[in-house]
């Protein structure tokens, strides 16, 4: 996995294992994953749905990556699922009878769900930076990320009802956990109305709004740098436990945490970090072992 991530540095061109993504390493321990079909508004084609899984599995196992930034190339973040590819893949499951066809359809949907669940399962935090439109599958994608940023011109649309389906790859499950108002989630999902940057910020979908894409990417890299400079044991344990706690009771979360830290507290990172803190040094001055 590690080799795959290294090999794909500055990809998108010859030698890259990906056709829909461009991967680079803008700074030590930071991986930038760019949705890279700008001429098709980064519409999520067949290649994209499987390449994201390969890419994030590789990132999960790469000790030289501690944090990921995701953004879109070109005019906007993404136009959602590729409507041209959709007909041939999702809408034509094979099977000798209804049971078998349905079974195959279920398998296809589960595979599509993996494309974004892999982001959540990756222990490295993922910062997503949205400019322009974020449509349909784009909302599924960003709700699986850990930190969401956008530009002032960004808009978000749970578009699925407009194309005749209930969103089935994460939005309906994760968006209610991201923004506090159930009523707002219902309104967005049932009407497919666009939500603009200011409302995205006030509702809690994004934590920061930037004037333009350049400022946003600089901001994303700054946040990523703060994360990458801290103990990977602490950071990855924090992500895993935050997600666990979101889906469990407080008592279950505390129990899981105790089990997690009974081993993870036995790390040199605690002593190194505590010492730096006593000496009023930044954690970024510490050299942590790779994880």
Q: Under the rule (CB under 6 A), what is the footprint of ligand LH2PNOKW?
A: 40-41, 43, 75, 79-84, 90, 109, 112, 133, 135-137, 159-160, 163, 168-169
Distance CA 80, CA 141 (A): 9
Q: Which of 64, 89, 114, 168 is catalytic?
A: 168
Reported in sequence order, the residue ranges of 85-162 that DSSP labels E, i.e. its strands, are: 126-130, 133-135, 147-151, 155-157
Distance CA(209)–CA(289), nearest Å, equals 34
Catalytic site residue from 140, 227, 237, 269: 140
CA atoms within 13 A on the CB side of 226: 8
Closer by beta carbon to ligand LH2PNOKW, 75 or else 208: 75
Task: Give the H/E segment covering residue 86.
Answer: helix 83-89
CB of 207 to ligand LH2PNOKW, least distance (A): 24
Q: How far is the CB of 169 from ligand LH2PNOKW (least distance, A)?
A: 5
Minimum CB distance to ligand LH2PNOKW, residue 90 (Å): 5
Name which of 12 and 136 has its Cβ closer to ligand LH2PNOKW. 136
Active-site option among 72, 137, 138, 237? 137
What letter would DSSP give residue 137? H
Residue 81 among the catalytic residues = yes
Three-point CA angle 128, 134, 138, nearest 5°: 70
Judged by beta carbon, residue 40 or residue 272, the one nearer ligand LH2PNOKW is 40
Question: Among this protein's residues, is 168 annotated catalytic?
Answer: yes
Looking at 81, 119, 179, 223, which residue is catalytic?
A: 81
For 254, residues 6+ apart whose C-beta sits below 8 A from its C-beta are: none
Whole-number minimum distance, CB 78 to ligand LH2PNOKW, in Å?
8
Least distance from C-beta 73 to ligand LH2PNOKW, angstroms? 13
Please say which residue, 81 or 220, places its beta carbon nearer to ligand LH2PNOKW.
81
Token representation of residue 21: 């993504």
- Distance, in Å, from the CA atom of 124 to the CA atom of 224, rounded to the nearest integer, reads 11
Query: Does the annotation count 137 as an active-site position?
Result: yes
Return d(Cα 50, Cα 258) in angstroms, integer: 35
Which residue lies nearer to ligand LH2PNOKW by CB, 45 or 231? 45
Q: Which is nearest to 57 in space by CA: 161, 65, 109?
A: 65
Instruction: Work out the number of other CB atoms within 10 angstroms of the CB of residue 240.
Output: 16
Q: How many CB atoms lie within 10 A of CB 107?
A: 11
Q: How far is the CB of 82 from ligand LH2PNOKW (least distance, A)?
A: 4
CA distances from 112 to 51, 141, 167, 232, 287 (A): 11, 11, 11, 29, 39
Residue (80 or 125) nearer to ligand LH2PNOKW, CB:
80
* Residues annotated catalytic, as ranges: 81, 137, 140, 160, 168
């Amino acid at each position: 996995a590690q080799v795959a991530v290294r090999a794909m540095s500055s990809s998108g061109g010859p030698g890259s294992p990906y056709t829909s993504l461009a991967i680079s390493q803008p700074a030590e321990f930071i991986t930038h994953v760019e949705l890279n079909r700008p001429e098709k508004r980064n519409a999520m084609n067949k290649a994209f749905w499987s390449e994201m899984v390969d890419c994030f599995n590789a990132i999960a196992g790469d000790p030289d990556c501690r944090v990921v930034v995701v953004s879109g190339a070109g005019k906007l973040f993404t136009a959602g699922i590729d409507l041209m590819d959709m007909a041939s893949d999702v809408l034509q499951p094979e099977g000798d009878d209804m049971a078998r066809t349905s079974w195959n359809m279920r398998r296809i949907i589960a595979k599509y769900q993996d494309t974004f669940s892999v982001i959540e399962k990756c222990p490295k935090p993922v910062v997503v930076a949205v400019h322009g439109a974020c449509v349909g599958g784009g909302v599924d994608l960003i709700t699986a990320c850990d930190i969401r940023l956008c530009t002032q011109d960004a808009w978000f649309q749970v578009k699925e009802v407009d194309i005749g389906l209930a969103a089935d790859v994460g939005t309906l499950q994760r968006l209610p956990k991201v923004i506090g108002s159930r009523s707002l989630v219902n309104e967005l999902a049932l009407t497919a109305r666009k939500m603009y940057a200011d409302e995205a910020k006030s509702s809690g979908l994004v934590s920061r709004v930037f004037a333009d894409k350049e400022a946003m990417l600089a901001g994303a890299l700054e946040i990523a740098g703060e994360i990458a400079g801290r103990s990977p044991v602490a950071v990855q344990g924090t992500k895993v436990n935050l997600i666990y706690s979101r889906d469990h009771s407080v008592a279950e979360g505390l129990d899981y945490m105790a089990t997690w830290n009974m081993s993870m507290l036995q790390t040199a990172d605690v002593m190194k970090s505590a010492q730096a803190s006593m000496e009023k040094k930044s954690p970024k001055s510490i050299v942590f072992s790779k994880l």
